[in-house]
């Protein structure tokens, strides 16, 4: 093997100037190296076909060069490019059967550890050997010692045989003097056929039935005035009725809440887009490291706190809960039942899609591996999602990474309902409620201190950033409802204020000077929380500061958010209220939940089917790409609303709302359909 390394260095000038010599080529090196290896009988079919390809490459035969050209040696390793994927499609469409009907290619991903030597260095020395340089992780934990190599070889080759062949091919462009450890991860043959599962056909049948039911019901309602039970059920599926419910104008909408909801879901989609980009193959990994390691630039610090706006969803949810509880015609238990079905209608369809269909909708170098992992997580844990327990049980294998919010919201709704009812008790209720809120504020800090966790989600460990299921903060604190209760309770308090003191009746009760003061304080508070340099100073972990930040950050952010809402609704800022009252925001806010549900599967579709390495660029990722994902998500959310969410909500309301059957029948003559829509547009 050392002879091969020496030979590759000796012939490099020859390879660099092919026009001046007819000496050895890279193909010759590989052929010579393969012949020197010890092969078993099981290896022979693969070896013979590989040598057949290489001999034809040396003769410049088109079909063979087609295969050879679909691979390339690892590049960009020193700047954090972990993936060298070659050309997946070229490999699987190689016309090898024209030369030999039994020669079929397969595309394989090999996991390469460049050196297994360990070094005690903490810093990279560019003047030293490549071996200690690559074996030393970056300050953020990036492993430069690992390469994922996409290769194209005969389908007769087994993983162990492929590893031997790749060790020889690696010597064309070695990165360290050590012999690498190569293991083959996944392979996909060109002649692979797809067999659809029962779940796939079941989902397609369900989708067809939902669409057909809605179309037929719409046609029936337009031509029938007979008020029967069948008519009532059909009206629940009416596309005309559900479209009217989506686009209706109501007098009790608070414009700033709709605007905030639309802004939050936009930020969530664009932010997730940026981090999904990083989870995939990028060419400039060290640039991302620099962004995450920056602590002096406040704007870049905000990138690491980008999860804070998620608490605004909980604030809004708490506000809407109290609005519903304070409505005299709403019973708490009925409200929780309605809320459960509103949450699970589209949610169940999305889970069903990921578990049964998504795996068949794409292809790519690592599609089967990563899309298969998401499918398996949903196959195993779908029932936890529907029971609203997936943020506590098997959360390290959660079905749909972003779905943690849904059980968290529902659990907090149950907790908030109990707290609200307890608050009505004049003797112990108020004291108990206040004590509960104080405990909720303290719990995140106590848990962070007890488990010795960082105080924020995106701490300086690259592996846990890219695979969030391995992130201790995500699993232990971020997704647990008892750690997110503080902002929810702040939202409930704000909901009580805007319900008791209806903004339309109390305009401008806050003076201009006080509005300016409160708004300034809110902005300064939010800025301090969002740009805090975290609990790392020079990447040194501070136990107490992490706990303190975890305890106060989200609650201060919630207070700043609610203060801003109060200033806009009760202060002299009519121009802002005018912008926020645009009807389009109300319509889009009703689609926000569906956008939140669907955007992650669209992102996964894009990431897992990626063929090439991309450049990480924060502005591009969050801008052009992020808004494209957002637009597609809005379309899917609209479909879910028309065919799933609205019809099921209508049917549930038939059984849970007193007199609702009569209301629904009468709604045919009304455009705004007020009977069952008061809370259906709230993000859950």
Would you kindly state where each structural domain of the chain is located, as residue ranges? 2-189, 205-669
As a whole number of angstroms, the distance between CA 509 and CA 569 comes to 10
Tokens 């410049």 map to which residue? 60
Q: How confident is the model at residue 541 (pLDDT cuts 50, 70, 90)?
A: low
Mean pLDDT of 453-465: 74
Q: According to the model, what pLDDT value does residue 673 have?
A: 42
- Kindly list the distances between the CA atom of residue 472 and the CA atoms of 384, 466, 478, 662, in Å, as whole numbers in the listed order: 20, 13, 9, 51
* Token pair for 288: 């991302």
Measure the CA–CA gap between 264 and 596, rounded to whole angstroms: 10
Strand pairing report for 181-189 and 146-154 = unpaired
CA distance 70 to 171: 18
**β-sheet bridge partners, residue 282:** 614
Mean pLDDT to the nearest integer, 150-159: 94
Q: Which residues contact 358 (CB under 8 A, 6 or more apart)?
A: 371, 374, 375, 601, 604, 605
Tokens of 660: 């609702």
Measured between alpha carbons, how far is 640 from 359 in angstroms, rounded to an integer?
A: 20
- The pLDDT tens digits for 113-133 are 999 887 766 677 788 888 889
| Element spanning 113, H or E | strand 105-113
What is the share, in percent, of the chain residues with pLDDT greater than 70?
90
SS3 107: strand
Tell me the mean pLDDT in the region 155-176.
Answer: 93
Per-residue HEC secondary structure of 117-168 comes to CCCCCCCCCCCCCHHHHHHCCCCCCCCCCEEEEEEEEECCCCHHHHHHHHHH
Nearest by Cα to 288 from 274, 269, 298? 274
Q: What is the pLDDT of residue 684?
A: 35
Structure-token match 């009725």, residue found: 241
Q: Residue 160 has what pLDDT?
A: 93
pLDDT recorded at residue 432: 82
User: Phi and psi dihedrals of 225, rounded to 5?
Assistant: -115, 5
Tokens of 649: 């909500």
pLDDT at 264: 92
Mean pLDDT of 296-313: 81
d(CA 364, CA 541): 39
Neighbours of 431 (CB within 10 A): 12
Q: What share of the chain is helix, strand, coil (3-state, %, to 5)?
A: 65, 5, 30
CA dist 255 → 142, 259, 558, 682 (Å): 45, 6, 19, 13
- Alpha helices, DSSP H only, in 424-511? 429-450, 462-466, 472-473, 485-500
Q: Is 659 exposed, middle or buried (0-12, 13-18, 19+ CB in 10 A)?
A: exposed
The average pLDDT across 45-59 equals: 94
Averaged pLDDT for residues 250-275 = 88
- What tokens were used for 503? 């903004």
- Rounded to an integer, the average pLDDT of 66-86 is 92
- Read off the pTM: 0.87
- Residue 674: the pLDDT is 41
Rounded CA separation 80/134 (Å): 10
Residue range 424-447, pLDDT digits in tens: 777 777 788 888 888 988 999 899
Do strands 536-537 and 540-541 pair parallel, antiparallel, or not at all (unpaired)? antiparallel
Backbone phi, then psi, for 331, in 5-degree steps? Answer: -95, 135
Radius of gyration of the CA atoms of the chain, in A: 30
- Rounded to whole angstroms, the Cα distance separating 514 from 504 reads 19
The CB density around residue 127, as the number of other CB atoms within 10 Å, is 5
**Rounded to whole angstroms, how far apart are CA atoms 582 and 258?**
9
Picking from 448, 439, 450, 418, the residue whose alpha carbon sits closest to that of residue 482 is 439
Tokens of 267: 């930020």
For residue 45, give the nearest of 192, 151, 152, 154 by alpha carbon. Answer: 154
Q: Which of 295-299, 326-330, 532-536 has the lowest mean pLDDT?
A: 532-536
Task: Please compute the mean of the pLDDT values over residues 453-464 and round it to a whole number.
Answer: 74
Contact (CB, 8 A) for 368 and 188: yes
Which pLDDT does position 459 carry in this prediction? 63
Q: How far apart are CA 540 and CA 554, in angstroms?
A: 23
pLDDT exceeding 90 applies to what percent of the chain? Answer: 54
In angstroms, the Cα distances linking 142 to 6, 540, 615 are 30, 17, 17
Average pLDDT, rounded, for the chain: 86
- In terms of average pLDDT, the best of 43-57, 329-343, 571-585, 622-636 is 43-57
Mean pLDDT confidence for 648-677:
58
In a 10 Å sphere around its CB, with 0-12 CB exposed, 13-18 middle and 19+ buried, how is residue 42 labelled? exposed
Residue 97 backbone phi and psi in degrees, to 5 = -70, -15
Of residues 292 and 360, the one with the higher pLDDT is: 360
What's the DSSP call for residue 536? Answer: E
Residue 77 Cα to chain centre, angstroms: 26
């Amino acid at each position: 093997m050392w002879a091969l390394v020496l030979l590759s260095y000796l012939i490099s000038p020859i390879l660099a100037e092919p026009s001046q010599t007819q000496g050895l080529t890279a193909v010759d090196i590989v052929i010579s190296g393969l012949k020197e290896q010890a092969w078993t009988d099981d290896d022979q079919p693969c070896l013979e076909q590989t040598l057949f390809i290489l001999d034809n490459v040396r003769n410049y035969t088109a079909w063979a060069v087609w295969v050879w050209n679909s691979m390339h040696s690892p590049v960009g390793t020193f700047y954090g490019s972990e993936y060298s994927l070659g050309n997946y499609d070229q490999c699987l469409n190689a016309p090898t059967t024209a030369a030999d009907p039994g020669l079929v290619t397969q595309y394989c991903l090999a996991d390469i550890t460049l050196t297994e030597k360990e070094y005690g260095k903490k810093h990279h020395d560019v003047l030293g050997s490549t071996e200690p340089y690559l074996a030393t992780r970056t300050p953020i934990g990036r492993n430069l010692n690992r390469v994922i190599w996409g290769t194209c070889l005969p389908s007769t080759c087994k993983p162990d045989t492929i590893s031997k062949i790749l060790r020889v091919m690696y010597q064309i462009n070695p990165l360290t003097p050590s012999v690498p450890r190569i293991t083959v991860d996944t392979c996909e043959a060109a002649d692979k056929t797809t067999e659809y599962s029962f779940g796939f056909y079941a989902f397609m049948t369900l989708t067809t039935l939902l669409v057909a039911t809605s179309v037929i019901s719409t046609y029936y309602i337009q031509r029938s005035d007979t008020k029967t039970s069948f008519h009532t059920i059909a009206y629940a599926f009416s596309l005309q009725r559900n479209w009217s419910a989506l686009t209706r104008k109501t007098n009790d909408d608070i414009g700033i809440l709709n605007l905030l909801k639309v802004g939050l879901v936009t930020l969530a989609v664009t932010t997730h887009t940026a981090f999904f980009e990083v989870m995939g193959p990028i060419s400039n990994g060290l640039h991302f490291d620099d962004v995450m390691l920056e602590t002096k630039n406040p704007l870049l610090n905000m990138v690491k706190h980008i999860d804070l706006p998620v608490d605004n969803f909980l604030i809004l949810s708490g506000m809407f809960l109290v609005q519903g509880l304070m409505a005299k015609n709403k019973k708490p238990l009925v409200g929780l039942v309605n809320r459960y079905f509103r949450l699970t209608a589209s949610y169940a369809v999305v889970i069903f899609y990921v578990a049964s269909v998504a795996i068949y909708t794409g292809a790519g170098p690592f599609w089967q591996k990563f899309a298969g992992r998401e499918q398996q997580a949903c196959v195993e844990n779908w029932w936890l999602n529907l029971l609203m327990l997936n943020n506590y049980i098997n959360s390290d294998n959660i079905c749909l990474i972003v779905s943690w919010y849904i059980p968290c919201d529902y659990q907090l709704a149950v907790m908030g309902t109990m707290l609200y009812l307890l608050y009505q008790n004049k003797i112990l209720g108020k004291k108990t409620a206040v004590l509960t809120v104080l405990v909720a504020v303290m719990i995140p800090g106590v848990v962070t201190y007890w488990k010795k966790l960082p105080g924020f989600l995106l701490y300086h460990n690259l592996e846990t950033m890219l695979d969030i299921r391995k992130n201790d903060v995500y699993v232990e604190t971020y997704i647990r409802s008892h750690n997110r209760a503080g902002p929810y309770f702040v939202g409930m308090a704000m909901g009580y204020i805007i319900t008791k003191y209806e903004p339309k009746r109390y305009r401008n009760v806050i003076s201009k000077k006080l509005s300016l003061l409160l708004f300034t304080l809110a902005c300064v508070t939010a800025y301090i929380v969002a740009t805090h340099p975290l609990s790392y100073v020079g990447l040194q972990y501070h136990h107490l500061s992490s706990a303190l930040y975890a305890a106060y950050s989200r609650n201060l952010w919630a207070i700043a958010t609610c203060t801003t809402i109060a200033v806009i609704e009760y202060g002299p800022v009519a121009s802002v209220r005018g912008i926020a009252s645009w009807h389009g925001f109300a319509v889009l806010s009703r689609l926000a939940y569906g956008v939140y549900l669907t955007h992650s599967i669209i992102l996964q579709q894009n990431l897992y089917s990626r063929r090439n390495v991309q450049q990480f660029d924060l502005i591009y990722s969050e801008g052009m790409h992020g808004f494209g994902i957002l637009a597609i998500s809005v379309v899917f959310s609209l479909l879910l609303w028309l065919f799933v969410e609205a019809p099921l909500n209508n049917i549930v309301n038939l059984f849970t709302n007193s007199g609702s059957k009569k209301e629904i029948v009468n709604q045919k003559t009304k455009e705004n359909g007020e009977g069952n829509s008061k809370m259906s547009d709230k993000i859950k």
